[in-house]
Copies of this chain bind each other. A is one copy, B any other.
């Protein structure tokens, strides 16, 4: 993409309303624009990141056997009356009346609707296990939305719902999502640590929050340093093998890990001091087993192998891709701007023409742009007539993994300068070798 044809409204000044670094950087880098309280448009650069994040989430949901659907944003109030949540939900639910004065709402979550879908079609245990997910905009009318897309009112959520005959099946489904989440966050360059979360009246131990460590995190977390060394299951993980998946979950739930809410001073104190890691964290995912909470009131049941009807045992599994992007930035930035992990970077390479209009520089850049694109790199080519200083600052701010810098002196000797955004390291390479070098380095 040529920057001269792109829409990248970089802000020179730091927006005053932004309290946290991810919000500031997303505004400054032209990723988002605020449209109202807790409501944002995703501008081209932000939309590209959102797509990349969603695609990773989707691939890992599919790998774990979940099936993608898409439910509408607007729901009927009657459905929520069946579960009893219409009255319970409180003011966070955006309630709406249509032209016929029918009660509707903008879905803050979809347990009721997905349970309605399930009960309409599935009648036998033979059609289980089943896990349906969607990636859809939700609305929660927070009293005081803030922190940009980290806590907005309209936000994107991937929510998956599992249906099983019994607790054993539900636990296996829960474990698959657990492992899927480990892979999802790792692919985005994040270290996510599963921490036991409160199960409230449901009880049991099947509720985990996935927390990433970031100095600017919203809450205090406590865990064993061992987590930093645990290996994340690979692509060849067999999600059909309950024992294998259960083993991974066991490994990842054995060392101590707790949010402030669930923190146990005694267990923490029993850890050798050198093992203790106390840090700030940001919740990026939550998985939860809730059994018959919805299936019972809503009559979602299947015939079991015993010929009798059983209410299905359910769980739900959430990741907020819009929030996650802010979390990634909280975890990966410096004073000059964002540092994108390669897998979610909006482009791979910033190709910077230091002297646009200079015939030699233009020629070298045009050729590199073609070559890099042909080699499969997504390139943002700064062909504008801005000064080099401004171009460098913008490239650092938007945080693409690589910068390829073309100036008159380099072109004269057939060389480009390559800068790795994360480390700041720089080296030169012959123009003809830039594409290959980047491919090697990104591999």
Interface residues of A (CB under 8 A from B): 5-7, 9, 30, 33, 35-37, 39-44, 47, 50, 65, 67-76, 91, 94, 96, 98-99, 102, 104, 106, 113, 116-117, 120-122, 130, 132, 137, 139, 141, 143, 153-154
Q: Given contacts A36-B75, A104-B36, are A70 and B98 in contact (CB under 8 A)?
A: no
Name A130's contact: one of B7, B70, B137 (CB within 8 Å). B7
Q: Are B33 and A117 in contact (CB under 8 A)?
A: yes
| With A73-B73, A74-B153, A96-B96 already in contact, 15 other A-B pairs whose C-beta atoms are closer than 8 Å | A6-B67, A7-B67, A9-B120, A9-B122, A30-B121, A35-B113, A36-B75, A41-B117, A44-B68, A72-B137, A73-B137, A74-B94, A94-B98, A96-B106, A98-B141
Q: Given contacts A99-B141, A132-B7, A143-B99, are A70 and B94 in contact (CB under 8 A)?
A: no
Taking the closest CB of chain B, its distance from the CB of A55, in whole angstroms, is: 11
Q: Are B121 and A9 in contact (CB under 8 A)?
A: yes
**Residues in B whose Cβ lies below 8 Å from that of A137:** 72-73, 137
Q: Given contacts A94-B96, A104-B36, A141-B98, are A47 and B70 in contact (CB under 8 A)?
A: yes
Smallest Cβ-Cβ distance to A139: which chain B residue: B74
A contacts with B: majority SS: mixed
21 contacts between A and B (CB under 8 A): A5-B65, A6-B67, A7-B69, A9-B122, A35-B72, A35-B113, A36-B104, A37-B98, A40-B72, A41-B69, A41-B117, A44-B68, A47-B69, A72-B154, A73-B139, A73-B154, A74-B106, A74-B153, A99-B141, A99-B143, A106-B106
Smallest Cβ-Cβ distance to A36: which chain B residue: B76
Cα-based distance from A380 to B98 in the complex (angstroms): 40
Q: Are A35 and B5 in contact (CB under 8 A)?
A: no
Cα-based distance from A9 to B122 in the complex (angstroms): 8
Q: What 9 pairs between A and B have smallest CB-CB spacing? A: A9-B121, A42-B70, A36-B76, A41-B71, A91-B99, A72-B154, A44-B67, A39-B72, A99-B141
Name A47's contact: one of B37, B68, B143 (CB within 8 Å). B68
Q: Are A33 and B120 in contact (CB under 8 A)?
A: yes
* Interface-centre pick from A74, A130, A143 (highest chain B CB count, 10 A): A74
Q: Are B44 and A69 in contact (CB under 8 A)?
A: yes
* Interface-centre pick from A39, A47, A113, A153 (highest chain B CB count, 10 A): A39
Cα-based distance from A47 to B6 in the complex (angstroms): 30
**Residues in B whose Cβ lies below 8 Å from that of A120:** 9, 33
